[in-house]
Amino acid sequence: MERRRTQAERTAESRRRLIDAAIELLATRGYARTSLAAIGETAGVSRGLVTHHFGSKEQCIVEVVRHIRLLIEADLLKPRELRGMEAIENLIRTYLKETWPESYAARALLVVIVEALTAGPDLLHAVSENNVAIRTMIVNSLEEAVELGQIPQVSDPESAAVVVSGILRGVLIQVLLDPEHVDRETAIKASIELTRAALVNS
């Protein structure tokens, strides 16, 4: 006999459906048109249930950003056998490969990042945490690359991570906005070559 789900499990599933609906709407309609009512409609529930779970639109989007952060950590974290520059190059390939940029999550995150510039402190903080998570992955790999003798000592790993993550995000935006003129594979290769050259010659 199938085990009955607990109340906590049902609540978690309902919350996940709402977050998935919000991600889809952000990716396809943008921030302004992602209302609590639209989230509820897309998820097949009432607006009241959305309000019950999150309280406000901004808090819902904060949870969306946190959820996407978990997806990033699961999808983009380096395989354990890759270290140093191999890990950084793998991060670039994974971040820019077709399945991630074309996903609702990637598009939704870019929409929210722009909105966070003028949003309240909670959303800005959630986006900042997301950025820190990616930069931390890069810093750790840079330090490994130095230890392995792959690159010279990096004077400021944190700033280098800002630049590398900026390259990733900038290329991703161009891949999404101008696919006719930006070849994905060529962009990935160039991103890897430029990153390696900059670090080796630093």
Classify domain 7-200 at the CATH topology level.
Tetracycline Repressor; domain 2 (1.10.357)
Banded pLDDT at 141 (limits 50, 70, 90): very high
Judge contact between 62 and 123, C-beta under 8 A: yes
Residue 21 has, within 13 A of its CA and on its CB side, a CA count of 24
- pLDDT recorded at residue 8: 77
Instruction: Evaluate if residue 125 carries a pLDDT over 80.
Output: yes
Determine the 3-state secondary structure of 152 from DSSP: coil
State the Cα–Cα distance between residues 189 and 13, nearest whole angstrom. Answer: 40
Cβ atoms < 10 Å from Cβ of 107? 19
The tokens for 50 are: 């959305």
Give this prediction's pTM.
Answer: 0.84
pLDDT tens per residue, range 48-102: 999 999 999 999 999 999 999 888 777 666 566 788 999 999 889 988 887 775 6
Q: Provide mean pLDDT across the span 94-114.
A: 84
Banded pLDDT at 7 (limits 50, 70, 90): confident
Cβ atoms < 10 Å from Cβ of 95? 22
Cα separation of the two ends of the chain: 63
Counted residue by residue, the chain has a size of: 202
Domain coordinates of the chain in residue numbers?
7-200
